[in-house]
Structure 1
Amino acid sequence: MPLYEITRDSLTPIAQKTFTELGFQERANIQRAVRAHIAAITPGVRTMVLAEEFGDWVGANRRIDLLCLDEEARLVVVELKREDGAHMELQALRYAAMVSTMRFDQAVEAHRKYLKSMGSSEDPEQAIRDFLEIEDGQVALSEEVRIVLAASDFPQELTTTVLWLNKQGLDIRCVQMRPHLVDQRVLIDIQQVIPLPEAEQYQVAVREKSMEQAAARPSSRDWTRFDLVIGDQIFTNLPKRRLIYEVVKEALRRGLTPSQIGAAVPWRESTIFLSADGQLDSLTFQSVGGEKSLARYYSADEDIFHIGGKTYAFSTQWGSRTREAIDNINKLMPEGAPVTYAPTTKVVDEVTYGEHVIRQRENGSIEVERNGVPMQPVKPVLRELAMKLQLLPQNGRGNDLNTRQLGAQVVRAVKEL
């Protein structure tokens, strides 16, 4: 809504300008001004600036305009746009994910660099402790990351997305900054438009209630993921259907037949495989078997099996008896490296190196993603990364490191960069 100048008996609209028309730069002017008065765009939440143009992560050239901390020890990602804020919510979400694992010592180091850039000799740790009103002892940052988007205008697709994300439990605020020229002075009308301040407490209460109901809602589906170890190969974070696929793949590799595997799972014996005569590729297999009939089977070229002059596709439909089926197949497994599996544990360390993300889980297992795609098997990828990092893939006795040892070594090396 426009601003008006009121006289005794009339209202005169004050024309809205754009920052571009007024010659204001996004970083040199707007960001600098907001940095000095962060409270202007964070109403009702006491906030301090930790860092400016923050980008301390490996393999990324993007930077957060302002990285802040609020009074509840939550990190706050602040993104600023001079004009239209189109797509800025997607960028901010990526940044929030990247900083979500930040520790207190890393926050202190980020603030140290910021203070140095400002010419300040203030102690960064003490500054943060004073702000949080924590005199001594350990400080743990909240797992929740808030987002503040500030721009002169927000398109409908952005506001719709933000409203939906907030309903899912995130905390994203949209703050509108609109400049006006009055007697050669630039006045900025700053309004929080999402959530509306007068409705904020209500919206927070609704969101918390929805999250509480979702957590309490019973679910019969088992979402457990598993780590599978076959000798020196480690497959991490597998859903149950992929877990049994990898076990069956190994069983077939060791010489078990599809009929033997089917007999080990009598309640699924007739539907565990689809087969066709000949050594077929996936397209030919689909034309023979019918696309609809293959919809519930692994039928990509890399997933089908060629055995005894026939082509087989393995079922993707596995329910509550998946682990029983795996154990039955494992009992028939011909001699070879042990095949074991266990529920996936939580991630205790994660680093990014180029296009790769390497995670170390609580049980020591290692998983690697490249551009978001899980890499299997893991060890060849770790060897490649170890070479780039100039690491030796052998221990002090000259023996090859196993996957977990090599992964831990790679994680340490990346963290030391």
Structure 2
Amino acid sequence: MAIYEITADRLRELEETSYAKAGVKERNDLQRLLRMQVEVISPDTLVIAEEFGEWTEGSRRIDLLGVDKDANLVVIELKRTDDGGHMELQAIRYAAMVSAMTFDRAVEVFSGYLNKIGSNTDAREALLEHLDWSEPDEDRFAQDVRIILASAEFSKELTTAVLWLNERDLDIRCMRMKPYQDGEKILVDVQQIVPLPEASAYTVQIREKERRERKDRAERYSIRKRFWTQLLNYANTQTDLHSNISPSEYHWIGTGSGVRGLAYTYKLTQHTSIVDLYIDLGVGAKEENKQIFDTLYAQKDQIETVFGEPLDWRRLNDLKASRILFEMNGGYRDDESEWQPIIEKMVDAMIRLEKALRPFIEKIKTSV
């Protein structure tokens, strides 16, 4: 995409050039100018270091290191090349290296930078003022590291990698700084190309939604595994029905009944729990599943008398499987202090269900 000058009689195209051809150097020119006007590529950012490389090991250096208004660190990597090289890989290494920086360490780094450029500004007060804090807040400082990549152009491989990384919760922006020649003047067209500015807000919302969903999913899996662990520990003191299985992260655990395709399962939702006999002999066995269900349903009154309560008989005519279940209040999202009574009800219901169905399943076992 070219840049044009509007004249009285035409649009005059400006000549695209390169930094090398224009005699613009990466460190002495681009980096020097951007450290003084970092808002050109990273608004609301305070530069706290240049050529920062105080690592435990390694000799590479961050071109510019900043802090944004949200107290996130900002790693800025600059390249004069026409494709960006492998700058995203370098920047990710740098981000990892500075990710543990504390507020006090940032003040030390900033103070050294201010001394280097001949400024008498108090580093601590300047950083607090930038963050609009009256006192340091270590719990909020450097909770994330953002990455800004600035280059004359970016290869497709680089932008593809950045898009993929951003989908996985990194925050990397590609700022294209394309140089143009206009006589003796060198002009720079600065554009954010990843993510596209018009999509940035939406992208952030989607990323935040996905982050919450992943966190909720991980939390849900962890809670359910704790619930099943507690249930199996208790169940194994009452019956050996599920003694051969391990806790699961999923919403159900089950064990065989002695007949292929018939399983006794515990199931959980957030605030309800279920015990059931699940009937599914596998692919192509729909009719056989329904026949087994009908055989048991013919003994419904006797089964429910032994069980002690009405059961929910689900033939599920349009589906392959069938179920005989009992549903109760109480699930894994109830307070953990209330889990034990829920678990005791579930295990009691499972023992009663297995006892009520056992003689009829034995008959099915001998007939298959």
- Equivalent in the alignment of 2:59: 61
2:71/2:143 contact within 8 Å kept:
no
- Equivalent in the alignment of 1:124: 123
Q: Which amino acid aligns with 2:119?
A: S
Number of residues of Structure 1 aligned to a counterpart in Structure 2: 228
Looking at structure 2, the residues matched to 167 and 138 of structure 1 have their Cα atoms a distance apart, in angstroms, of 29
Looking at structure 1, the residues matched to 36 and 202 of structure 2 have their Cα atoms a distance apart, in angstroms, of 31
Q: Does 1:101 align with 2:100?
A: yes
Query: Residue by residue, what CA displacement relative to the aligned partner does 1:98-155 show, whole Å, maximum 9, x if unpaired?
Result: 1100001110010011011101121111110111121235454131100000000100
Looking at structure 1, the residues matched to 14 and 31 of structure 2 have their Cα atoms a distance apart, in angstroms, of 25
> RMSD of the TM alignment (CA)?
2.3
CA radius of gyration, larger in: 2
> Helix, strand or coil for the counterpart of 1:136?
coil
Q: 1:213 to 1:54 in 2, by over 3 A?
A: same
- Equivalent in the alignment of 1:85: 84
Looking at structure 2, the residues matched to 149 and 137 of structure 1 have their Cα atoms a distance apart, in angstroms, of 29
> Helix, strand or coil for the counterpart of 1:143?
coil
Looking at structure 2, the residues matched to 104 and 137 of structure 1 have their Cα atoms a distance apart, in angstroms, of 7
- Equivalent in the alignment of 1:285: none
Q: Which amino acid aligns with 2:34?
A: V
Looking at structure 2, the residues matched to 101 and 54 of structure 1 have their Cα atoms a distance apart, in angstroms, of 15
Percent of paired sites with the same residue: 45
- Equivalent in the alignment of 2:164: 164
> Helix, strand or coil for the counterpart of 1:56?
coil
Q: 1:137 to 1:160 in 2, by over 3 A?
A: closer
Q: Does 1:192 align with 2:192?
A: yes
Equivalent residues in 2 for 1:6-155, closer than 5 Å: 6-42=6-42, 45-83=43-81, 84-139=83-138, 140-155=140-155
Q: 1:117 to 1:137 in 2, by over 3 A?
A: closer
TM-score, structure 2 as length reference: 0.58
Query: Residue by residue, what CA displacement relative to the aligned partner does 1:344-370 show, whole Å, maximum 9, x if unpaired?
Result: xxxxxxxxxxxxxxxxxxxxxxxxxxx
Deviation, structure 1 residue 160: 0.6
Moved more, 82-91 or 5-14: 5-14
2:152/2:177 contact within 8 Å kept:
yes
Q: Counting helix residues as a fraction of each chain, which structure ranks higher?
A: 2
Deviation, structure 1 residue 267: 6.3
Looking at structure 2, the residues matched to 142 and 38 of structure 1 have their Cα atoms a distance apart, in angstroms, of 19
Looking at structure 2, the residues matched to 16 and 138 of structure 1 have their Cα atoms a distance apart, in angstroms, of 47
Looking at structure 2, the residues matched to 220 and 4 of structure 1 have their Cα atoms a distance apart, in angstroms, of 57
Equivalent residues in 2 for 1:260-271, closer than 5 Å: none
Equivalent residues in 2 for 1:11-410, closer than 5 Å: 11-42=11-42, 45-83=43-81, 84-139=83-138, 140-217=140-217, 220=221, 320=247
Deviation, structure 1 residue 9: 4.1
Looking at structure 2, the residues matched to 221 and 210 of structure 1 have their Cα atoms a distance apart, in angstroms, of 18
> Helix, strand or coil for the counterpart of 1:97?
helix
> Helix, strand or coil for the counterpart of 2:75?
strand
Q: Which amino acid aligns with 1:99?
A: V
Looking at structure 2, the residues matched to 212 and 133 of structure 1 have their Cα atoms a distance apart, in angstroms, of 27
Looking at structure 2, the residues matched to 199 and 46 of structure 1 have their Cα atoms a distance apart, in angstroms, of 20
2:19/2:179 contact within 8 Å kept:
yes
Q: 1:74 to 1:137 in 2, by over 3 A?
A: closer
Looking at structure 2, the residues matched to 20 and 36 of structure 1 have their Cα atoms a distance apart, in angstroms, of 22
- Equivalent in the alignment of 2:328: none
Q: Which amino acid aligns with 2:40?
A: A
2:101/2:142 contact within 8 Å kept:
no
Looking at structure 2, the residues matched to 126 and 220 of structure 1 have their Cα atoms a distance apart, in angstroms, of 45
Q: Which amino acid aligns with 2:158?
A: L
Give the gaps of 5 or more residues in structure 1. Answer: 225-265, 269-318, 322-417
Looking at structure 2, the residues matched to 72 and 196 of structure 1 have their Cα atoms a distance apart, in angstroms, of 21
Q: 1:31 to 1:11 in 2, by over 3 A?
A: same
